[in-house]
């Protein structure tokens, strides 16, 4: 893609696609999607499982699986389509799969069965709203051949959101993402045009349960998620697989220009040293390709800029107008629902319409294969108007919990 989508404001309304939403089945509803051989193990696991997440126990938990409620609430929020990441607990997992990337040998078979059950459920869930949901399939990295088979199966089942790439946090025992052991995975994703999504929070190591752990997690978690970018760049994944696409979701967007500058600096420094064989740094440049990381960003990478903050929008040209995909993070508390229109105003008021149109929907349509002819017709009925989004937000909506409305260093004084 070379630029933002042209003519993306239909009947004066934006076609808004959320590039970051979450869904999953209610716990017992996963059972029909498991092979019969796993039913007894599932019954035993489910009978003693205690869900650790308050939002999955609340009366609003059905937003994850109630298709009609979900469509109605998203439309009321001005959103016509969504990229669907996991949220509920898949079978045989102790917690959300984002936080459990590396099962033991004993757990491996059941964990794989649980993720496949989620993927099968998600394909059916997306089929309830044809053309409006791009489901993201889950995989494990312990067995790359199994991961490749699941990518092909999920793609054939109609999950157009690509795959959720697990993290490889310290202590996971998994090879790091720069390893060539993952080349078969990158190859099949490039072959099928399957986006590789790396979601924030999916690569952090355990930090314990002391009171400070949550604050430390907030400081470190996005950095651990960012690592996928330089691992794939320096590991040569994009060089060997030019069609590979990496999407970094719910990790913010303002970090991208300075990090690319840092990566380019090290790339130039180490490749120069490699050419000077008497340099003490020459050995550190071994294996690096000739292209700078910023070149791979321009050609292979995108950002799922969930609830994009006001201070990030001025960086849009440095990030790339055609790289940014806004997300509401529905149904999470930190998401913008039911104030997505105000969230869009906070980030994009006063910007050129064609740029806003690209960031709120046009780019996601290209990356995830949405049919804009279908979605434009829905947006003409429910989408936010261009005039509305152009109006600066002067104060946050009452009861809003999304960080996009926060004050402070990364927010604004309302």
pLDDT value at 6 more than 80? no
Q: Is the pLDDT of residue 407 over 80?
A: no
Cite the DSSP H helix spans in 142-212: 144-156, 183-192
Task: Give pLDDT, residue 1.
Answer: 40
Confirm if 23 and 328 have CB atoms less than 8 A apart: no
Q: Name which residue leads in pLDDT, 237 or 97.
A: 237
Residue 401: is its pLDDT beyond 60? yes
Tell me phi and psi for residue 49, to 5 degrees.
-75, 135
Determine the pLDDT at residue 149: 98
**Residue 414: pLDDT band with limits 50, 70, 90:** low
Average pLDDT over residues 238-267: 97
Mean pLDDT of the region 336-363: 98
Cα–Cα nearest to 119, from 24, 196, 38 = 24
5: pLDDT confidence band, cut at 50, 70 and 90?
very low
Mean pLDDT of 29-34: 98
Neighbouring C-beta atoms of residue 311, cutoff 10 Å:
14
Instruction: Kindly report, residue by residue over 146-174, the tens digit of the pLDDT.
Output: 999 999 999 999 999 999 999 898 888 89
Give the whole-angstrom CA distance, residue 14 versus residue 359.
10
Return the pLDDT at 3: 43
pLDDT (mean) for 192-202? 95
**Amino acid 381: pLDDT:** 97
Q: What is the pLDDT of residue 99?
A: 61
What pLDDT, on a 0 to 100 scale, did the predictor assign at position 277? 76
Q: DSSP states of 253-273 as a string?
A: STTHHHHHHHHHHHHHHHHHH
Residue with tokens 């321009």: 298
Q: What is the CATH number of domain 9-405?
A: 3.20.20.140
9-10 and 13-14 beta bridge pairing: antiparallel
Angle between helices 293-300 and 213-234 (to 10 degrees): 90
pTM of the full structure: 0.95
Q: Above 80 in pLDDT, residue 102?
A: no
Q: What pLDDT is stored for residue 389 in this prediction?
A: 98
- Pairwise pLDDT comparison (225 vs 103), residue with the higher score: 225
Mean of the pLDDT values across residues 43-60? 91
User: Which pLDDT belongs to residue 412?
Assistant: 59
> Is the pLDDT confidence value at 247 over 90?
yes
Is 15's pLDDT higher than 50?
yes
Amino acid 55: pLDDT: 87
Determine the average pLDDT of the residues in 227-253.
97
| Chain mean pLDDT for the chain | 93
Does the pLDDT of residue 317 top 90, yes or no?
yes
CA angle 318, 322, 326 (to 5 degrees): 95
Is the model more confident about 6 or about 114? Answer: 114
Q: What pLDDT shows up at residue 101? A: 60
pLDDT at residue 4 greater than cutoff 50? no
Residue ranges of domains in the chain: 9-405
Q: Give the residue, 13 or 104, on which the prediction is more confident.
A: 13
**pLDDT for residue 133 is more than 90:** yes
| Percent with pLDDT over 90 in the chain | 81
Confidence check: pLDDT of 42 > 90 = yes
Sign of the dihedral defined by the CA atoms of residues 217, 222, 135, 237, in that order:
negative
Is residue 86 over pLDDT 90?
yes
> Which of 64, 66, 50 has its CA nearest to residue 21?
64
């Amino acid at each position: 893609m070379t630029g933002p989508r042209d003519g993306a404001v239909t009947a004066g309304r934006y076609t808004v696609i959320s590039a970051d939403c979450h869904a999953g089945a209610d716990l017992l509803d996963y059972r029909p999607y498991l092979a019969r051989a796993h039913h007894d193990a599932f019954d035993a696991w489910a009978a003693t499982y205690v869900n650790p997440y308050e939002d999955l126990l609340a009366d609003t938990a059905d937003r994850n699986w109630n298709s009609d409620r979900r469509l109605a609430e998203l439309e009321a929020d001005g959103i016509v389509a969504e990229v669907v990441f996991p949220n509920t607990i898949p079978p045989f997992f102790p917690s959300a799969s984002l936080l459990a990337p590396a099962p033991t040998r004993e757990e491996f078979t059941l964990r794989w069965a649980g993720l496949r059950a989620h993927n099968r459920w998600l394909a059916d869930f997306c089929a309830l709203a044809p053309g409006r949901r791009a489901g993201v399939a889950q995989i494990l990295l312990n067995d790359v051949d199994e991961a490749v088979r699941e990518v092909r199966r999920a793609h054939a089942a109609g999950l157009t959101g690509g795959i959720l790439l697990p993290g490889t946090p310290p202590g996971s025992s998994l090879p790091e993402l720069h390893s060539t052991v993952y080349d078969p995975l990158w190859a099949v994703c490039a072959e099928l045009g399957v986006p590789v999504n790396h979601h924030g929070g999916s690569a952090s190591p355990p930090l314990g349960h002391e009171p400070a752990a949550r604050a430390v997690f907030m400081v470190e978690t996005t950095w651990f998620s960012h690592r996928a970018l330089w691992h794939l760049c320096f590991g040569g994944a994009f060089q060997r697989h030019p069609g590979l696409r990496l999407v970094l979701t719910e990790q913010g967007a303002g970090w991208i220009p300075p990090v690319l500058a840092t990566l380019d600096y090290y790339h130039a420094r180490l490749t120069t040293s490699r050419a000077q064989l008497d340099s003490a740094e020459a050995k550190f440049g071994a294996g690096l390709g000739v292209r700078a990381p910023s070149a791979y960003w321009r050609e292979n990478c995108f950002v799922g800029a969930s609830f994009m903050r006001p201070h990030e929008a001025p960086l849009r040209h440095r990030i790339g107008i055609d790289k940014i995909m806004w997300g509401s993070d529905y149904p999470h508390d930190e998401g913008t629902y039911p104030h997505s229109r105000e969230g869009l105003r906070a980030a994009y008021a006063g910007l050129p319409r064609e740029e806003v149109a690209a960031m709120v929907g046009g780019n996601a349509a290209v990356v995830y294969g949405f049919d804009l002819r279908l979605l434009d017709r829905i947006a003409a009925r429910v989408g936010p108007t261009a005039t509305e989004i152009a109006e600066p937000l002067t104060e946050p909506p009452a009861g809003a919990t999304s960080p996009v409305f926060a004050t402070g260093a990364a927010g604004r004084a309302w």
